[in-house]
């Protein structure tokens, strides 16, 4: 257990260096000039030079890198060229919205994906199996930006049931910030109106975002359920009179979930990626829009800060995956003790 956590943390250090190195490398082979972007085309060479000095761009590349890493370790991700604010402040302002959206989508995907996968495995080669296969394949084939548009057209344009953009109605005050998640914060402060409004706002983007992950989860649950259902102990349990829900959930699913955890972990990572596009469509004030804007502005401190945050998130998710494994598989638990 300790060994595993240490291993993951060591990987974290490696990733931080790797990611900063790669993004740094990238930022210096590209043709654009951030200083020029900042001061505008008409500024004099003088100003340009001055700004370069401010940004440390006049130093040799490796010194720039060392300075950057030093700053990162002390928690300073630099200043955004575009917003002129510390990158860390920007990220903490936008990150909760993205995380809330990703979590909501993740729960929808689990809530539908696991039962659908079980159903497909139990009804193999029959209607629900074919249905789940088509549903999954259409899920991974669906362009998020397009399905988002269609859903807006339908539920906002024609039916008017749900709002098309934002996190909460403009005339409602956002709840007092505790976690940064509107759904949780509004409940904490007992503000039912704000809760309802943010629930209405999150539903469509979360559904759209969850679709592709739902597909992946369904297929994985189906595959591992089929494998587990073919195992000897299931037959023993059946011969002992275990059947129905108990057989499916307490005997089969529990073990089928072990290999699913990895896939689910990876899928949470790609959720964060997909969030970028979904946020653009739904005007969700998260990091997605911030990143897209930063990328087109070649705002490298911002981009590097974001990728760093996401990559650290990846490692942490893997840690959670490992811990879940550990919780689900007693054999692993025992072998760690030795």
Partner 1 sequence: MLLEMKDVSVEFTGMRGSVQVLKNISLNISKGEILGIVGESGSGKSVTALSILRLLGNNAKTSNGEILFNGTDLLKIRTKEIQALRGKKIGMVFQEPMTALHPTMKIGRQLAEVIERHRAVSKKAAFRLAVQALKDVHIHDPELVAAKYPFELSGGMRQRIVIALAMAAPPDLLIADEPTTALDVTIQAEILNLIKELNNKNDTSVLIITHDMGVISQLCQRTLVMYGGEIVESGSTNGVLKNPKHPYTKALLNALPDLADPAQPLQAIPGEIMDLRHRPNGCSFAARCSIAGEYCRTHQPALVEILPQHYTACWKGEKEQND
Partner 2 sequence: MSAEIQTVKQIEKPITIHPVWYKLKNNKMTWIGFVIIFVIILTSLLAPVLTSYDPTKIYIVEKFQGPSGKHWFGTDEVGRDILSRILYGGRLSLGMGVLAILITAAIGIVLGTISGFFGGYIDQIIMRIMDMILAFPTLILAMALAAALGPSLQNAMLAIAIVKIPVYVRLARSETLVLREKLFVKSAITFGIHPVRIILKHIVPNSLSPVIIQATLDIGDAILMIATLGFLGLGAQPPTPEWGAMISIGWKYLLDFWWYPTFPGIFLFMSSCAFNLIGDGIRDILDPKSNS
Window 279-338: residues binding partner 2 (CB under 8 A): 280-281, 291-292, 295-296, 298, 303, 306-307, 310-311, 314-315
Window 213-272: residues binding partner 2 (CB under 8 A): 223, 226-227, 230, 235, 269-270, 272
DSSP per position, 63-123: HHHHHHHHHHHTT---B-TTT-SBHHHHHHHHHHHHHHHHHHHHHHHHHHHHHHHHHHHHT
Nearer to partner 2, 96 or 148 (CB): 148
Q: Which does 303 bind (CB under 5 to 8 A by kind): partner 2, partner 1, none?
A: partner 2
Taking each helix axis as running N to C, give the angle between helix 300-328 and helix 254-282, from 0 to 180 degrees, rounded to the nearest 10: 160
As a whole number of Å, the end-to-end CA separation of the chain is 11
Neighbour count for residue 165 (Cβ, 10 Å): 15
What burial class does residue 97 get, using C-beta atoms within 10 Å of its C-beta: 0-12 exposed, 13-18 middle, 19+ buried?
Answer: buried
| Residues binding partner 1: number (CB under 8 A) | 24
Q: Which does 240 bind (CB under 5 to 8 A by kind): partner 2, partner 1, none?
A: partner 1
Tokens of 206: 């979360």
For residue 193, the minimal CB distance to partner 2 (Å) is: 27
Which of 45, 46, 125, 334 touches partner 2 (CB under 8 A)?
A: 125
The answer to whether 336 contacts partner 1 (rule: CB under 8 A) is no
The answer to whether 127 contacts partner 2 (rule: CB under 8 A) is no
Give every CB contact of residue 231 below 8 A, 6+ residues apart in sequence.
none
Which range binds partner 1 by CB under 8 A, 6-14, 66-74, 218-226, 227-235? Answer: 227-235
Q: Is the dihedral of CA 135, 109, 287, 187 positive or negative?
A: positive
Tokens of 233: 């102990």
Window 240-299: residues binding partner 1 (CB under 8 A): 240-244, 246, 250-251, 254-255, 258
- Mark 179-218 with x for binding to partner 2 (rule: CB under 8 A) and - for no binding: ----------------------------------------
- 3-state SS track over 293-335: HHHHCCCHHHHHHHHHHHHHHHHHHHHHHHHHHHHHCHHHHHH
Nearer to partner 1, 236 or 270 (CB): 236
Window 19-38: residues binding partner 2 (CB under 8 A): 19, 21-23, 26-27, 29-31
For residue 127, the minimal CB distance to partner 1 (Å) is: 15
Nearer to partner 2, 118 or 277 (CB): 277
Measured CA angle at 270 (ends 3, 331), to 5 deg = 35
| Residue whose pair of structure tokens reads 């739902």 in the numeric block | 214
Which of 10, 137, 192, 193 touches partner 2 (CB under 8 A)?
A: 137
Using CA atoms, how far residue 34 sits from 56, 87, 186, 234, in Å, is: 11, 15, 40, 62
The answer to whether 160 contacts partner 2 (rule: CB under 8 A) is no
Which of 33, 161, 273, 336 touches partner 2 (CB under 8 A)?
A: 273
Q: What are phi and psi of 283, to 5 degrees?
A: 55, 35
The answer to whether 71 contacts partner 2 (rule: CB under 8 A) is no
The answer to whether 102 contacts partner 2 (rule: CB under 8 A) is no
Using CA atoms, how far residue 261 sits from 216, 221, 253, in Å, is: 12, 10, 12
Neighbour count for residue 315 (Cβ, 10 Å): 18
Chain contacts with partner 1 (rule: CB under 8 A): 231-233, 235-244, 246, 250-251, 254-255, 258, 328-331, 334
Chain contacts with partner 2 (rule: CB under 8 A): 15, 18-19, 21-23, 26-27, 29-31, 124-125, 133-134, 137-138, 140-146, 149-150, 152-153, 157, 223, 226-227, 230, 235, 269-270, 272-274, 276-277, 280-281, 291-292, 295-296, 298, 303, 306-307, 310-311, 314-315
């Amino acid at each position: 257990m300790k060994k595993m956590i240490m291993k993951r943390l060591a990987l974290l250090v490696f990733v931080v260096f790797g990611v900063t190195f790669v993004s740094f490398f990238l930022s210096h082979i590209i043709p654009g000039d951030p200083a020029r972007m900042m001061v505008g085309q008409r500024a004099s060479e003088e100003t340009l030079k001055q700004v370069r000095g401010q940004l440390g761009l006049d130093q040799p590349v490796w010194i720039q890198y060392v300075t950057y890493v030093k700053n990162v370790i002390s928690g300073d991700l630099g200043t955004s060229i575009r917003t002129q604010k510390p990158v860390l402040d920007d990220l903490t302002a936008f990150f909760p919205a993205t995380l809330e959206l990703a979590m909501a989508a993740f729960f929808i995907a689990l809530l539908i994906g696991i039962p659908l996968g079980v159903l497909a495995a139990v009804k193999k080669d029959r209607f629900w199996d074919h249905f789940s296969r088509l549903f999954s394949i259409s899920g991974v084939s669906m362009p998020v930006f397009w399905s988002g548009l269609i859903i807006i057209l339908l539920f906002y344009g024609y039916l008017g049931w749900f709002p098309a953009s934002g996190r909460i109605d403009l005339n409602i005050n956002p709840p007092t910030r505790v976690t940064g998640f509107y759904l949780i914060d509004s409940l904490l402060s007992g503000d039912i109106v704000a809760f309802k409004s943010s629930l209405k706002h999150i539903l469509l983007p979360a559904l759209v975002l969850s679709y592709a992950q739902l597909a992946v989860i369904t297929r994985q649950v189906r595959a591992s359920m089929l494998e587990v259902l073919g195992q000897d102990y299931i037959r023993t349990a059946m011969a002992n009179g275990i059947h129905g829900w108990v057989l499916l959930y307490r005997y089969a699913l529990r073990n089928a979930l072990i290999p699913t955890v990895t896939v689910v972990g990876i899928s949470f990572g790609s959720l964060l990626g997909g969030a970028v596009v979904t946020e653009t469509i739904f005007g969700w004030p998260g990091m997605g829009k911030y990143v897209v804007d930063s990328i087109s502005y070649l705002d490298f401190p911002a981009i590097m800060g974001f990728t760093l945050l996401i990559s650290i998130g990846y490692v942490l998710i893997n840690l959670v995956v490992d811990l879940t494994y550990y919780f689900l598989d007693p054999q692993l638990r025992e072998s760690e003790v030795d």
